[in-house]
Amino acid sequence: MIDSVLPLQESVWWLQKRDHLLDLAKNQLNAFIYDSKTIERSIASLKNMESIDKIFYAMKANFNPDLLRILYDFNINFECVSPGEVKFLIKTFPNIGINRILFTPNFSPKDEYIWAMNLGLKVTIDNLYPLKEWPEIFKNKNIIVRIDTGHGEGHHKHVKTAGKESKFGIHLPQVKELMVLVKSMDINIVGIHAHNGSEIYEVNNWITIAEQLALIGKKFNTTKFLDIGGGFPTSNHSDNRSVSMKDLDDGLLRIKQKYPNYKFWIEPGRYLVAESGILLTHITQMKNKGDKKFIGVGTGMNTLIRPALYDAHHEIINLTRYYDNTVTELVEIVGPICESGDSFGMHRFKKGSREDDVILIANVGAYGSSMSSHYNLRELPIEIIL
């Protein structure tokens, strides 16, 4: 995981707000900062897609209440995976209509389904077990089913959520059994869902899902929408990869023309919030071991576990010295946590970097603070929305 030192676009929001960020960093060792305008831009680009009828934000990506408020005010709906997420949403927005919430649990206990159906949530079932073992909960009801498309995708094996090795979704050969079950229980399959994984760079992923789900939908005459999941990437500065939302829209529109009876839903997490978030920290110490150089920063895998867990790459910038004209050297950026895995990887850094320089870790708006922990009992960073 080596930073390729491509020149950054000067238009990136945190360079435009550099002075303000350096100011904010004076008062705290570590802080998550989110830029509301960047979130609004992501919302607008999804709302621009003609093929998409409803957007559900996967709130597991980031549940900061002020950030949720931006999505709420722009009429984005919410995808929740636990009663905790649903309750948090209702507590934050007491007037939220229950129809704005999609509940997509996985291997949940029976009581959660009873609770969700009684509350009137849209519930996604991703296994035949609940239907076979707890028929009383679902008889005569409307439900959504999650299908395993058979091909998992994504930036790391831990985030591929389809295929035989994945615990998610109803296995395709079981669709016949599903048809018999829903008929005998008078269940309406109102929606068919699939989510292949996270951070996928192939437009065809969603086009194939839409086609696969449309064909399955034809087997039930109650299906009104196809939920083609999330997994849309943000543009990756380090290797210039991105997905053209225009190509995706065109491709989906082609499928929609073929199957005009279905509405299309999506449930993105990362796409809506990743680029809006940065983690500001400071250099704490430096260490040489022969040729190897470590630069320590004020926070580590406790606040951003993605590099340790998935070998994920995040740009790391010395914000204090961003415009200094010094040569760079390859260093390993590490945090203060007592684990060897507490590393943000190898990065090119300005040679004159010093204790207390402000360090910026980019693209952490999704799965940064929401996956942080109290490990080592280090304080969590404050979170600020600009």
For ligand LLP, the binding residues (CB under 6 A) are 58, 61, 79, 104, 159, 161, 195, 198-199, 229-232, 267-271, 306, 310, 366-367
Q: How far is the CB of 247 from ligand LLP (least distance, A)?
A: 18
Q: How far is the CB of 153 from ligand LLP (least distance, A)?
A: 10
Q: How far is the CB of 151 from ligand LLP (least distance, A)?
A: 15
Nearest residue (CB) to ligand LLP, 42 versus 318? 42
C-alpha 142/C-alpha 190 separation (Å) is 6
Nearest residue (CB) to ligand LLP, 320 versus 369? 369
- Which residues are CB-contacts of 32 (< 8 A; sequence separation ≥ 6)? 64, 277, 278, 279, 280, 303, 364, 368, 369, 381, 382, 383, 384
Nearest residue (CB) to ligand LLP, 61 versus 308? 61
Nearest residue (CB) to ligand LLP, 230 versus 335? 230
Q: How far is the CB of 107 from ligand LLP (least distance, A)?
A: 13
Q: How far is the CB of 8 from ligand LLP (least distance, A)?
A: 22
Q: How far is the CB of 195 from ligand LLP (least distance, A)?
A: 4
Q: How far is the CB of 275 from ligand LLP (least distance, A)?
A: 13
The angle subtended at Cα 46 by Cα 42 and Cα 49, nearest 5°, is 150
Nearest residue (CB) to ligand LLP, 279 versus 319? 279
Nearest residue (CB) to ligand LLP, 296 versus 381? 381
Q: How far is the CB of 124 from ligand LLP (least distance, A)?
A: 8
Nearest residue (CB) to ligand LLP, 264 versus 349? 264
Nearest residue (CB) to ligand LLP, 306 versus 350? 306
